[in-house]
Amino acid sequence: MRPLDQLINKTDPGWTLVQEWIRNAKNNVEVLPCDTAKAKDALYKTQVTTRSPMGAIIYSTGGLLIDGGWIRVLGSGSRKLNRTLPEWNKGKSFKEFGKQPSFLLVADDAAGGFFAINGGAFGSDAGKVYYLSPDTIEWEPLDLTYSAFLNFCFNGDLADFYKELRWNDWKTEVANLNGNMVYNFFPFLWTKEGKDINKVSRKPIPVEEQFSFTLDMRKQLGLTKNGL
């Protein structure tokens, strides 16, 4: 594993660019504060440089909350989102820090959807982002790099992307939702009975529980590929 001083880029930091993107964003972006020691630890464990947007977000933020907290982009952890990107991935995409992951979970949303960068688990388009949608429980290719995914978060038509996953009073509820919780729906959104988001029941559950539950459902339905 590369030492920390090789990962921190002081001459061309990516955070300058990301800050500019945030200033010009059409969607609401909340930059969560970070703890310096935790940021250094998370950067070292992820092994990316601060010249990259991902490294910049890990090193300079506790994470990003998009559109009132609907999307949570992982960084180095904060009070509202106390998961770090490397710790969240350990045991899911890799067993030990420094190992090359076959995918990397980088963000999730209040509806229980998960965004991951392909490291080979999803096919030949390495570096592209996939979305595990709660209403299909399929890993859907978005054909976006991590930087393009950030642009989607900052400027994309989220109302259209999430038109089937947002209920009438979602803004009020999500505003009070902790970043480690997501909504679980019943009947399940991928069933015929669960197609109308406003007619199903919902309750907040830990994001860890929802991720495990979704992968278990995929396994039961014979959808699992490469363990996902």
In this prediction, residue 10 carries a pLDDT of 84
Q: What is the mean pLDDT of residues 122-141?
A: 96
Q: How confident is the model at residue 226 (pLDDT cuts 50, 70, 90)?
A: confident
CA distances for 117 relative to 145, 156, 202, angstroms: 8, 18, 28
Looking at residue 101, what DSSP letter applies? P
Q: Residue 91: CB partners within 8 Å, gap ≥ 6? A: none
Q: What DSSP line would sit under 13-65, residue for residue?
A: -HHHHHHHHHHT-SS-EEEEP--HHHHHHHHHHHT--TTSHHHHHHHH-SEEE
Q: What percent of the chain has pLDDT over 90?
A: 95
**Contact between 182 and 204 (Cβ < 8 Å):** yes
Q: Please give the model's pTM, rounded to 2 decimal places.
A: 0.97
Vertex 50: Cα angle to 110 and 90 (nearest 5): 50
Q: How confident is the model at residue 227 (pLDDT cuts 50, 70, 90)?
A: confident
Q: Where are the domains of the chain?
A: 4-220
How far apart CA 221 and CA 228 sit, in angstroms, is: 12
pLDDT digits (tens, 9 = 90+) for 92-122: 999 999 899 999 999 999 999 999 999 999 9
First to last CA, the chain: 26
In this prediction, residue 153 carries a pLDDT of 98
In this prediction, residue 11 carries a pLDDT of 84
